[in-house]
Amino acid sequence: MLDKIEQIVKNFNSEIENATQKDIFEEIRNKYFSRKGLIAELFEDLKQLSKDEKPKYGQLLNQTKNELNAIFEKYLENYSSKNLESSFNLDLTLPSKKKNLGTKHILNQTLLEIKDIFKGLGFSIYDGPELESDYYNFEALNFPKDHPARDMQDTFFVNKNFLLRTHTSPVQARLMQSTKPPIRAIIPGKVYRNEAISAKSYCLFHQVEGLFIDKDVTFAELTGTLIYFAKQYFGENVKYRFRPSFFPFTEPSSEVDIWWQPKGKTGRWLEILGCGMVDPNVLEFNGIDSEEYTGYAFGLGIERMTMLKYGIDDIRIFFDNDKRFLKQF
């Protein structure tokens, strides 16, 4: 019995001296002092001793238990106060760990800039579905069935009547059908084209559609608005030109080019948008009296605008999600 007590005291002492963590103190407390701990076990052993040995060992055990308890509490207190101290030793002047925050995608930044400019001109922002019907994408915009104009845009058909919209113009028709003029709307969104992927074209890109319908809207207002817009976005000295073009839903129609001058290379014109006066047939088809109202519309490409402004020469890079590219903006 005596040997057993001595052994336990010895073990206890070496364990408590090496306790360096809160958990270890808990472990020791459990191992020695809990109801099924080593000391409780010793008290169990007492029962097997003879009558005259019992009081002697009982006393010794009680004394040992109290001493070990006191040692334990002393070490624990010592440990706790040291640790408190070390938390005051923190150097609060050290710089914190660097957090890597994401940034807005450059296409989103361009979109925000474009929205801001048109909001300043009194345009409101709308959206429409990307999964669109043939009816809104083509028919309501004066693309007759089987008309070759449909081939201008290679379409991803989902079935006979539904497709991924090839432009944001179907939302023009939706707005005309649901809203009484005046309508002054900007409609940003994704569009899809089934084209061969190259540096110049991707199967997915972003447009911002514009639509203004009111009494006596003129072509001069259209050009005035777009020139103002180009100067706001590219700067006062931007070189632009309006080039006659064709769209089934506008008449007359035009495209706007911006002069692209990479450093040390020969410059060229790059198209950024299509526009025109809303064709009276389109107004009528969508329930607006073309005797009373006129309107203009335009659709510009967000990727193109961004590529021109920042000198990016491959559209695919926007969709690669390469951080080395994205971090530059």
Give the residue, chosen from 212, 298, 303, 308, that forms a contact with ligand PHE under the rule CB under 6 A.
298
Judged by CB under 6 A, does residue 206 bind ligand PHE?
A: no
Q: Is 170 an interacting residue with respect to ligand PHE (CB under 6 A)?
A: no
Interface with ligand PHE, residue 276, by CB under 6 A: yes
Site stretch for ligand PHE (CB under 6 A), options 53-61, 110-118, 198-206, 272-280: 272-280
Q: Which residue has the tokens 């203009």?
A: 296
DSSP class of residue 182? P
Under the criterion CB under 6 A, does residue 225 sit at the interface with ligand PHE? no
Q: Round to whole Å and give the CA distance between 265 and 248.
A: 36
Are residues 178 and 128 in contact, defined by beta-carbon separation less than 8 angstroms?
Answer: no
Instruction: Give the SS3 label for residue 13.
Output: helix
Figure out which of the listed residues 275, 282, 288, 305 binds ligand PHE, where binding follows CB under 6 A. Answer: 275
Picking from 2, 5, 3, the residue whose alpha carbon sits closest to that of residue 32 is 5
Name the residue nearer to ligand PHE (CB basis): 15 or 221.
221
- CB atoms inside a 10 Å sphere around CB 13: 12
Nearest position to ligand PHE, beta carbon: 299
Q: In the beta sheet, which residues pair with residue 274?
A: 255, 299
Smallest Cα–Cα separation from 107: which of 115, 99, 117, 96? 115
Does the footprint of ligand PHE cover residue 205 (CB under 6 A)?
A: no
User: Is residue 305 a contact residue for ligand PHE (CB under 6 A)?
Assistant: no
Please pick, from the candidates 192, 247, 260, 293, the single residue that binds ligand PHE as defined by CB under 6 A: 247
Say which residue the tokens 């915009």 belong to. Answer: 141
Amino acid letter, 251: E
Q: For residues 64 and 274, which CB has a smaller minimum distance to ligand PHE in the complex?
A: 274
Is 169 a residue that touches ligand PHE (CB under 6 A)? yes
The tokens of 212 are what? 């203004």
Could you say whether residue 274 binds ligand PHE (CB under 6 A)? yes
Q: How far apart are CA 179 and CA 202, in angstroms?
A: 33
Residue 250 is a binding residue for ligand PHE (CB under 6 A): yes
Q: Site residues for ligand PHE, window 18-77 (CB under 6 A)?
A: none
CB 109 within 8 A of CB 329: yes
Q: Tell me how far apart the alpha carbons of residues 301 and 310 are, in angstroms, rounded to a whole number.
A: 15
Is there binding between residue 297 and ligand PHE (CB under 6 A)?
Answer: yes
Any contact of residue 295 with ligand PHE (CB under 6 A)? Answer: no
Residue 12 engages ligand PHE in binding (rule: CB under 6 A): no
The residue whose two tokens read 């336990």 is 8
181 contributes a contact to ligand PHE by CB under 6 A: no
Backbone torsions φ then ψ of 280, nearest 5 degrees: -55, -35
**Near ligand PHE by CB under 6 A, which window of 6-14, 84-92, 226-234, 274-282?**
274-282
> Whole-number minimum distance, CB 102 to ligand PHE, in Å?
30
- Find the part of the chain contacting ligand PHE (CB under 6 A) among 82-90, 98-106, 143-151, 296-304: 296-304
Report d(CA 103, CA 106) in Å as an integer.
9
> What does the binding site for ligand PHE look like in residue numbers (CB under 6 A)?
167, 169, 247, 250, 274-276, 297-299
